[in-house]
């Protein structure tokens, strides 16, 4: 498939995201995602972050297997989670769960710097190569237990977690700046909710349930 074909599919994907958002207006409280987010979704080549044999499905609004029992999230969920973060060009962001790097590349397009943690070394090495090929020079990636965050670079303006713990890890809350936002799926496997966690200037937390979701579980290094 040629680059123009992929570009057309990206435009179609973005239009489908916009329609899906309208359908969920009542739950989301708005009928459209931010323009910067949609522009990033239309620009970043999702086919560069999926397995070669799955490239024909890269722009379908569905999760795809990334290997090692993990998946790349459906485009709508990637767009929604990104939008909920309310990313600013000066933000320093922590991502827990690099996978093959697609969400990372979207974040890199919209922020100053992304620190991303992946538990599975093979995925991390693959993602690093894919991000480098796309020129994502504002990303630092390491292998490790995402539940612990990345204390050396904390606090973070925004935090995004792409796998689901039962409960929001206290270490990630601690590493969120006052005024910051975290988007994270959490809950028991059959009862996960996508959460928006906000910390105000006095370190007071508020949490809002956005949508029922189904994510891979956020594993810890000892369990692995």
Residue 11: HSE in the Cβ half-sphere, 13 Å Cα cutoff: 5
Residues 6+ apart with CB under 8 A from 199: 173, 176, 177, 178, 179, 180, 181, 182, 205
* Total number of residues shown for the chain: 224
**Which H or E run includes 93?**
strand 92-96
Of the residues 2, 66, 73, 201, which is catalytic? 73
CB 156, CB 177: distance < 8 Å: yes
Separation between Cα atoms, residue 202 and residue 190, nearest integer Å: 34
**Termini Cα distance of the chain:** 37
Find, among 202, 134, 192, 201, the residue nearest to 168 by Cα.
192
CB 13, CB 41: distance < 8 Å: yes
Structure tokens at 49: 């972050």
For residue 131, with 0-12 CB atoms within 10 Å meaning exposed, 13-18 middle and 19 or more buried, which class applies? Answer: buried
Is residue 116 part of the annotated active site? The answer reads no
Write out the catalytic residue numbers. Answer: 73
């Amino acid at each position: 498939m040629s680059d123009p074909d992929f570009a057309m599919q990206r435009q179609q994907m973005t239009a489908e995201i916009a329609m899906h958002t309208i359908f969920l207006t009542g739950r989301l409280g708005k009928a459209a995602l931010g323009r910067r987010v949609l522009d990033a979704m239309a620009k970043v080549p999702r086919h560069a972050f999926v397995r070669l044999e799955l490239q024909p499905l890269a722009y379908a609004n569905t999760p795809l297997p990334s290997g090692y029992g993990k998946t790349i999230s459906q485009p709508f969920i990637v767009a929604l989670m990104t939008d909920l973060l309310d990313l600013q060009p000066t933000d320093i962001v922590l991502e827990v769960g690099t996978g093959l790097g697609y969400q990372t590349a979207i974040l890199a397009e919209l922020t100053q710097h992304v620190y991303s943690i992946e538990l599975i070394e093979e995925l991390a090495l693959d993602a690093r190569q894919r991000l480098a090929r796309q020129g994502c020079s504002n990303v630092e990636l390491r292998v490790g237990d995402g539940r612990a965050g990345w204390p050396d670079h904390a606090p973070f303006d925004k935090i995004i977690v792409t796998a689901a713990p039962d409960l929001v890890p206290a270490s990630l809350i601690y590493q969120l700046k006052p005024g910051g936002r975290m988007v994270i799926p959490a809950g028991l496997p059959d009862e996960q909710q996508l959460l928006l966690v906000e910390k105000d200037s006095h370190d007071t937390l508020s949490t809002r349930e956005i949508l029922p979701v189904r994510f891979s579980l956020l594993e810890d290094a000892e369990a692995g």
